[in-house]
Each structure stands twice: as C-alpha cells, then as structure tokens.
Structure 1
Amino acid sequence: MTDPRSTERAEIAAIHEVAKILTSTQNLDRALGTALRTLQSFLGFDRTAIFRPDETTREIRMEIAAGYTAEQRERGRYVWGEGIVGKTMKTGSPIALPDVRKEPSFLDKTRSHGASAGEGPISYLCVPIKIGAETLGVLTAERIGRTGTQGLESDARTLAVVGCLIGQALKLHKAIGRLQDEFRRQRQEFDKTIRKTYRIENIVGQSKRMQEVFAAVTSVAASRATVLLRGESGTGKEMIARAIHQGGARADQPFVAVNCAALPETLLESELFGHKRGAFTGAVEERKGRFEEAAGGTIFLDEVGDIPLSTQVKLLRVLQERKFERLGENRPVPVDVRIIAATNADLEKMVAGGTFREDLYYRLNVIPVFLPPLRDRREDILPLTEHFLERFNREHGKSVAFGKDALELLLEYRWTGNVRELENLVERAVVMAKAPVVQAQDLPRAIRVSASLPAVGSYGQPLAPQASVAASATEPPHPAAPQEGRPRAEVLKAMEREELQGALSSAGWVIARAAKILGWTPRQVAYKMKKHGLSSPWKK
C-alpha cells in the first residue's frame, strides 16, 4: 500500500518543478515537453499530452506529448465536443476515468491503447488548461495498471493545478508574442521615419554653404570611403552622418553612434571593441563592442579628437586591416563597417603637438566635409526657426509663432551654439509662451543685449554699425544695459550671470529644472554656476 504522505510529497514536488520549468525559458514548446516528462518521472504517468485548438480551423491537435510515437501524436486530432478531449475542450470540465477502454465516448484516435489489454486497466485523466473562464487547451495523462478511484482523484487535483500553471505560461507567451510583434512593427515604422527624416532633401539648408555640403554628401554616400566631418559643436554633424548612411547601400544595416568624449579612457576601448569575460574587474560576461554591433553598416565616431593615443593605435588597425581584437583576447575579429568620424577640434594642431597620430589623421581625412557655423549662413535661420516651430508646436499641442521684432533679433544673434542653440531656444519659447506670438521681450536677455551691442571683429575692431532694437514700453529698463565705454565681454558676462541666477531662483535652485528653463544641459548650468560664483542658498 502506498503511503499517502509520500504521494502528497511527490505531487507537491511535481507541481513545484513544473512551475520552475515553465518560468525558466522563453522556448515554450521545449518547456512544455520537459514539464510533461517531469509529470511522468515524479508521478509515474505512462503517457502525457497537451492538446490545443488550431486558431484557423479550431481543430484540436495533440501538440506536445510524452510517451507517444510521432505517428500516434499526428493521429491525435479532434473536433469540438468529439471524444473525451473534445468534450473537455467544449465544457471546460475535467474528466477522470478508472479504465478508459470501458468508456463508450473514448475514440482512441491515436491507436495507442489496443496493445495494453493484458496489462490491466488504463486510468485516464483529461483536465482543461484554463485562464479564468477561457479554455486554452487540454492536458491528458494516463497510467496503466492502477485500480480504484482514490489515486485517480489525487491525480486529477494535481493535474488541475498543473493545467492552471500551463494556462498562465500560454497566456504569458502569447502576451510576449504580441509585444514582440508590436516591437517589430514599431521598429519598422521607426526605420521608415529615420530614413525619411535623414534623407538629404529633408535637411533644412537653403544657403550656398549648405548646398555645397549636400552635394558632397550625395557624392560620398554611395562609396564606402571614410568621411571626416569638421565643424563647431551644434552644426549638425550627426545628422549629416546619418544622411550619408541613409544615402548609401548600407541604409538597411545598423547605424551606431559613439560619442568618444562622453566615455572615460578606461572604458572607451571596451566600448568600441568589446571584451572577453574576465578581461578586467567587473567583466562578468563577454560583450560585443560597437564595431561588431555596426557590422555591415556604419559607425559614427563623434568627437574623434578626444580618443586617447593608446586607443588610436587600435582604431588605426581597423581602418587599415578591417580587423580588431577584443579586450582580453588575442584573436583578430574581421569587421565590415564604414567609418564616419566627426570633430570640432583642430586636428592639424593636435598632430603637430603629438596628441593625435599623424597616420590616423590621414586615414580619417580621406573625404573631409566642413559644416559651416550658423552665423555664416544666416539665410538658413528663418527656415530652421519655422521647422523647429512646426515640430515643437506639434509635440506640445500649441500654435505659437514669432513676431517680426523677435525674428530680427534671431537674425542678428551670433549663435555660438549653432543649430542646437536655436533648436533649444525655439522649444523654450513654445513651452514658456503665454501668448500666441513670441515678441522680442520674450526672448532670453543674452539675445536681446547682443543685438544692442556693437559687433566686433576677431581683434576687437568695430564692425559695421547695426540697427538697435527698441525695447518694449511695457518692459522695465534692463539693469545690465551696456554703459558707454564698458567692454562688450563684461556686459555679456553680467547678463549671463543675471539670467542664470534668475532661472535658478525660479527653479528653486534645482540644476535640472534651471537647465530646462534656459535650454542648456545640467552640466552647462553647473559649469556656469562655478564660473559666476553662484551656489544654492540652501547649502551651508
């Protein structure tokens, strides 16, 4: 006689093991097959199976099985309400039979029960796989030679619990499938948007200088030649790099951007080339580098002038041989990737000073493309402003425009931060606007003051006089208005300090909030606070 406590322990152990199996992998079919074999091992079942309806024909098929041959499994097909499996699927109720061969509704479609006639009764259990009131499938199990109903009831309870676990796994798998399908759909939409956005004809630029840039991009896009983009920060080097990628044969392959200035020297080499497990402290697993991620496509190395000399040697090898070695590994890894580099540094001066390798410079400088600063293409300021207005009005659900006097100030300003500074200003104007039209007095003080100061050349000589913009009658006199004979730099510094202090005060001296108000980065705010000797009054 079997010890009831031993049977109960086996049932609990089986349920626990099945639960672990179903939550340990995303390969559902493999997990279900292992779960069925676990039921056989722990509870002594001779055959187990999972039936699920076909979503198109609704035919109920034996999908996963243990103890059946491939031919028997293929024959296990039912319609709704047909046989024991069909009835359980239709009613959602379990069926337990002490000897299935004595049941008139049992059809033995698998033809697997005739050879067992001399082996005693075949107990058969059929339980629904359910989530709430919905029946997702059927779980069956049979044991040859067990008599009585006490063990049958215990088996039925155990299988009912297992059926619920399988139901949860099926539901989760279906949800993951929907999420993956949605991710693929969104990725395809994103790729279409990227291709449309970064087509060269969609980049705003009517000036002669930008038309020359566009012509160069069109010429180099079809080749695999290395391109070096030169220009000040904020001139749109990454956008041009993406346009080159999208205009070539690699458009369907990855575009991987790396800001070399944003990574410390100790991490840059691992980021670019990857590492083997144990290559350094913290390298707990193997990791692909950006070059491997960009295989077949394009890698964009922004701020390439900030790459340390030790890493420049490896980068040179990639350019020469199209091979590299992961950190902690001596095996060369071949890579097919196009390299586009960008910098705002004077590489020629760095080469002369020994901080940038001359051979690497010539390898990168195959096709140089120079991006002009915004102050040298003022005819693009208004089209860019209109483009950013349309975008931010759509994003923030507004309908804001710039007044004529405000546009004149935008045309006169020098835009040391180039297109990025203009973009930040337009977004700030849209977000902060209290009226449909942004006037001159609504612009940052630095822009208003720069228009009232005489322009100077590189060596401080006065340029042609510019018309000053009259202040609004409703605006109080500016406390830091330029005084006669007062240096321009001093006036601008005072204005910057006052604007920074006002934004910090409005933001409760929270740097991130102040940065959003000013259209700067938190790092810029922290730097300028130090520069102007400003600190939070809440800090002792």
Structure 2
Amino acid sequence: MSYPATERVPTRSELLETELETLYRVSHVLNRSLDPNETVKDVLKILHQQGGMQRGMVTLLDPESGELLLNAIYCEREDVKPEPVRYRPGEGIIGAILSHDRTVVVRRIADEPRFLDRLGLYDLELPFIGVPIHIGPGEPVGVVAAQPKIAADELLGEWSRFMEMVANLIAQSLRLSRQVEKEKQDLTQERDRLRRTVRGNYGFDNMVGHTQVMRLVFDQVRQVAKWNTTVLIRGESGTGKELIANAIHYNSPRANGPFVKLNCAALPDNLLESELFGHEKGAFTGAASQRKGRFEQADGGTLFLDEIGEISATFQAKLLRVLQEGEFERVGGTRTLKVDVRIIAATNRNLEREVEEEKFREDLYYRLNVMPIQMPPLRDRIEDVPQLSRHLVEKIGKSQGRPLLISDSAVRMLMRHNWPGNVRELENTLERAAVMSPEGEIDGDTVVLTGLEEKILGGARPAVAPTVDLDDPEMDERERVIAALEQAGWVQAKAARLLNMTPRQIAYRIQTLNIKVRKI
C-alpha cells in the first residue's frame, strides 16, 4: 500500500526551525526516564508528528544472540500490528546498516533489493533513512530508521544529518541508562558480597568454643535467631556480647534489614533520647535539621542496645513505651511514628539486684529479659583458650596482611592466666605479641615480653586449672619447671619430686631460667 505525498516541500529555513523544535522535544522526552522502553516510542511519535519523519523504527542489539531486536515502532495506521522481528548482522537493509556501520539513504524504498518489508509498514514510493546508534567507540548497538513525509531528493542530505542527530540523542540516553544499570548491578553485587562476608564472619561456624557452657550459648543463639523475640545478653565486659548480638541478627529473617547499635552508657539522657528517637528541626539549640533516630534507622531490622543497665530511671519509662507499643515521637515533634524493630540488649550489671534496689524498672526488666543469654567469663572456659587463641591470631594476621602462627608453648602460657579482662584482654595480649613477632610466629618468649607472666605470677589461678603433661616432649625446660611449680602449689620441694630433681637442682633452674617465684 502506498501513501500519496501531498505535502509541499518546505524551505530550508522552515526545515531548520522544525528540526530544532523536534530535537528539543526529543531531548526532553529522553530526559524524562532512563528506561529506553519507556522513551524510544515517544521519540518516534515526536518524529512522526513534529519532525516530518514517519513510520519510525528502533532496533537494538541483543548481546547474547548478536541479533537486532525490534525495540519500538510508531505508525498511525491501526492495521499495523508488528510482531517480534529479528535481523541478523547483514540481513536486509537494517542488518546491513549494523554490519557496515554507516548511514543508508534510499531515494525510493521499492528500488532497494535489500529491503525485506517484514513489518508491512513502509510506503514503497518514499525514501528511507537508517542510521546506526553508537554508545561508544567500536561496533554500533542499534539502528533508528524512518521515512520522510515527502519525496524530495534535494533534502535527503539534510534529513540524514537530522536523523544522525536524533540517533546521537538516543545513544546518549542509552549510554546513561546502561551506565546506571551497570552501577546498580555493581552495587547490588557489592552489597551481596558484603552480606555474604558479614554472614560468614558472624555465622555459627565462626563461633569459637567447645566447652559445655559455650555449646549451651551457641544452641540458644541458633534457636532464638529464628524468631523476633527480644534478647538480653548478660555477662562481664569483654566476653563477646556484641558478637553474639551480631550472630543473632545475621542469622535471622531480618538479616537483610539494618543492624543498628547504640552504647547507652556513652550518652546522657537528653542526647540518648535524641539518638534513639531522633529530633525535629529547631527542637533544641543546634538542631539545624530533622534527624532520624536509631529506632527509625533500624526499622525492619535489629536494634542492639549495649549497656542497657546504665540508663536512668527517667529514660527507662520512655524506652518502655517504645518496647511495648513500637511507637514514639521525635524530640520536638508531635507526630507518632511506628516502627518494626527487634531489640537485642546487653548488660554486665546484676539487673535483678537493681530491680530489688529500685534502680531499674521491674516492668522494663521483664520486657527485656524475654530470652536471656548468659556469656561465661573466659576463666570459666579455659579449655577454649587454644582454639580461641588460634582464631584470634588468624584474625590479627589478616589485619596485618601476613600469615601469623602461635606455638603450643605460647598457648600453654596463655592457659595459665585467669583473664579478668576476658576475650578482649586475650585479643589485646595476642596483638601485642604479634607486633613483637617479626618472623610471624608467636612463641612463649614473645608472650613473656607482653608482661603476661607477671600477671600470672601475681594474680589468682584460673578457676579451671589445665592438666599439663610434664613429660610432653614439645615443652621447653622453662615451661616444664613452671608447670611443675604450679601443680605443686609453688612448693619447690614438691615440684622437684615431680621432675625427679633435688630441691637444689630446681632452685638452680629457677634462678638460671629467670622464673619469678609466686608466693601462695
């Protein structure tokens, strides 16, 4: 079917004015969205209605198949119902434009042997202009094509330049769209990688300890992680309460949500209220803008309130309302906000005694103490020191960017300390020892340099004394003498009998090995 060309030929000034107006409208449409599926058809509509270029078509390269896929067409004829069309490189006039990477202008499309007319769309008596689309140097990524309204050979060059400008605008939009999509994919991959890393760091397999008390803790963590139950982690400072909170969150259904932390002991009441609930602009001096609090930040995730036993009685009442209702107002605000937050709290205080002394609200205590988890001190699980030490040494080695090992003699010395500072003290001791180990191996002599031996000799013995084989061939002489003295309660005569020595011999060993005698 042909379309009669009844339009008059425009003057060059009229054509230029029309093209400028059309390019402006095309750029406006392309800026509206980064999705080419939403914008390209509107571009073809503008070309049809405003720019004098009808029956437009855009095909884009499918990177998987290497074929051109029909992305959009525009035609006012209702009888044209295009089906999915593909062009292989070099196939038909569209495929030839892609393969040869140059603009093709045909004076009369009926005379073009490469024209396949798969769409049944074009006027065979009118010209045809097809332009490759580039988003960078190298191969083109698509083709935009259309027919002028009228046959005017003298304007074909002008129309082809105009279509090339349209192709450039489409290319810029595609380039930006693909760049944003790539950045989005990169961010998604990075997010997923970080999530995998975090989950790996806080996975159940990385929780260290094989003693009965720690196995109980791990079993509790595995069970409570499945639910939204409020958890109260109890234990001395340095026992790893925050690590347990991390493990619960990152192994729970809320793992993809935020994990927000706040140390309640670090802030006075007025700042604590602002930190937890947020504030409105102008709520107090210095509140230059609205700010979301930790509860809002943790919506859909978990809020970890460390040192919960340190908050004042006044603030306890405010916190209780949020825990009961999930509702609060920002400081200086009147609008009630509702959040979905799981609470994990931690404390080293004896809350039961604090409740009896009316220092801690009983109703808040029961609201927090739904699922208590007691973290044992390190002195109650001395048998975990070897495994824990090697885990920490590996962690320190990664932070220092080198392989780091710890010898059995060093581990045996670590097991003789009662660790009042718990795991945190152990990690600090190992880090000091690592600094003083240029060869990458922490041995007994290096541990002595950290000052640990003076603490061992001056402090109390571990609650669980490790059993030491005095005939262990891997023990050096200094370790063997110290182990015998400890088993003998630092009575030199008893230690001498354990080592099949005379009291004079062991006294000599103590002096030459520079062993500081412990007074019991």
How does the TM-score come out when normalised to structure 2?
0.69
> 5 Å matches for 1:291-370?
293-295=298-300, 298-305=302-309, 312-313=316-317, 315-324=319-328, 328=333, 330-331=335-336, 333=338, 335=340, 337-345=341-349, 347=351, 357-370=361-374
1: CA distance, partners of 2:52 / 2:278: 50
Equivalent residue, structure 1, for 2:257: 254
Counterpart residue number, 1:86: 95
Question: Given the alignment of the two structures, is residue 50 of structure 1 paired with residue 58 of structure 2, yes or no?
Answer: yes
What is the aligned counterpart of 1:387 among 384, 391, 402?
A: 391
Identify the residue that residue 423 of structure 2 maps to in structure 1: 419
What residue identity is the alignment partner of 2:154? Answer: T
Report SS of the residue matched to 1:29: helix
**Aligned twin of 2:119:** 110
CA positional deviation for 1:63: 0.8
1:134 has 2:139 as partner? yes
Give 1:507's aligned residue.
none
Quote the offset at 1:93 in angstroms.
0.8
Residue identity matched to 2:93? I
Alignment of 1:170-249 (within 5 A): 170-181=174-185, 183-185=187-189, 187-188=191-192, 190-192=194-196, 194-195=198-199, 197-200=201-204, 202-218=206-222, 220-245=224-249
Q: By how many angstroms is 1:361 displaced? A: 2.5
Shift of 1:197: 4.6
When the two chains are superposed, the root-mean-square deviation of aligned CA atoms in Å is: 4.8
Q: 1:452 to 1:384 in 2, by over 3 A?
A: closer
Instruction: Measure the CA separation in 2 of the matches of 1:18 and 1:277.
Output: 42
CA gap of 1:376–1:471, structure 2 versus 1, over 3 A, is farther
Q: Deviations over 1:15-51 (max 9, x none)?
A: 6775676567543433444555565677454443321
CA distance in 2, matches of 1:318, 1:83: 69
The 5-angstrom pairing of residues 119-158 of structure 1 reads: 122-130=126-134, 131-145=136-150, 147-150=152-155, 152-158=156-162
In 2, Cα distance between equivalents of 1:108 and 1:466: 106
Counterpart code for 1:163: A
Amino acid at match of 2:257: P
Q: What's the secondary structure of 1:407's corresponding residue?
A: helix
Tell me, in whole angstroms, the C-alpha distance in 1 between the residues paired with 2:382 and 2:417.
10
Q: Is the 8 A contact 1:275 1:329 kept in 2?
A: no
Counterpart residue type for residue 262 of structure 2:
N
Task: Give the gaps of 5 or more residues in structure 1.
Answer: 458-462, 483-540
CA drift at 1:230: 1.8
Q: Cα–Cα, structure 1 residues 227 and 43, in superposed 2: closer, same or farther, change >3 Å?
A: same
Asked if 1:29 corresponds to 2:32, the answer is no
Q: 1:170 to 1:312 in 2, by over 3 A?
A: farther
Give the Å deviation of 1:64: 2.9
Task: Give the AA of the match of 2:260.
Answer: A
Contact 2:34 2:176 in 1 (8 A): no
Deviations 1:168-188 (A, max 9, x none): 543454455455445545555
Q: Which has the larger radius of gyration?
A: 2
Structure 1 distance, partners of 2:280, 2:52, is 46
CA distance, structure 2, for counterparts of residue 139 and residue 259 of structure 1: 57
CA gap of 1:267–1:107, structure 2 versus 1, over 3 A, is farther
Residue 133 of structure 1: CA displacement?
1.9
Q: Given the superposition, is the C-alpha separation of residues 196 and 20 from structure 1 closer, same or farther in structure 2, using an over 3 Å criterion?
A: same
Counterparts in 2 of 1:222 and 1:148: CA distance versus 1, 3 Å: closer
1:160 and 2:143 aligned = no
Q: Distance in 2 between matches of 1:19 and 1:423?
A: 61
Query: CA separation of 1:23/1:383 partners in 2, compared to 1, >3 Å: closer, same or farther?
Result: farther
Aligned: 1:433 with 2:437: yes
- Deviation of 1:375 after TM superposition, in Å, equals 3.8
Q: Residue 88 of structure 1: CA displacement?
A: 0.8
**In 2 relative to 1, CA 69–338 (structure 1 residues): closer, same or farther, beyond 3 Å?**
farther
Which amino acid letter does the alignment assign opposite residue 389 of structure 1?
Answer: V
Q: 1:270 to 1:33 in 2, by over 3 A?
A: farther
Deviations 1:145-180, CA, capped at 9 Å, x for gaps: 362434x43343343344345335434544554554
Does the aligned pair in 2 maintain the 1:260–1:268 contact within 8 Å?
no
Match of 2:68 among 60, 66, 70: 60
Q: 1:257–1:299: 8 Å Cα contact kept in structure 2?
A: yes
Q: Does 1:398 align with 2:407?
A: no
Aligned to 2:105: 96
Structure 1 window deviating more from structure 2 (140-149 vs 441-450): it is 441-450
Alpha-carbon distance in structure 2 between the residues aligned to 1:466 and 1:30 = 88
Amino acid in structure 2 at the alignment position of 1:300: F
C-alpha distance in 1, partners of 2:31/2:431? Answer: 46
Residue identity matched to 2:221 = V
What secondary structure is seen at the aligned counterpart in 1 of 2:140? Answer: strand
* CA distance in 1 between partners of 2:22 and 2:210 (Å): 72
Deviations 1:337-380 (A, max 9, x none): 43221133555676678775443222112232221333443322
Instruction: Give 1:499's aligned residue.
Output: none
- Percent identity reads 34
* Cα distance change of structure 1 residues 240 and 122 upon mapping to structure 2, 3 Å threshold: same
Question: Could you say what secondary structure the match of 1:134 adopts?
Answer: coil
CA contact (8 A) 1:234 1:417 kept: yes
Looking at structure 1, the residues matched to 283 and 114 of structure 2 have their Cα atoms a distance apart, in angstroms, of 65
Q: 1:74 to 1:438 in 2, by over 3 A?
A: same
The equivalent residue for 1:512 is none
Q: Deviations over 1:38-83 (max 9, x none)?
A: 6567745444332113344444232134446795443654343333
Number of residue pairs the alignment of both structures matches? 462
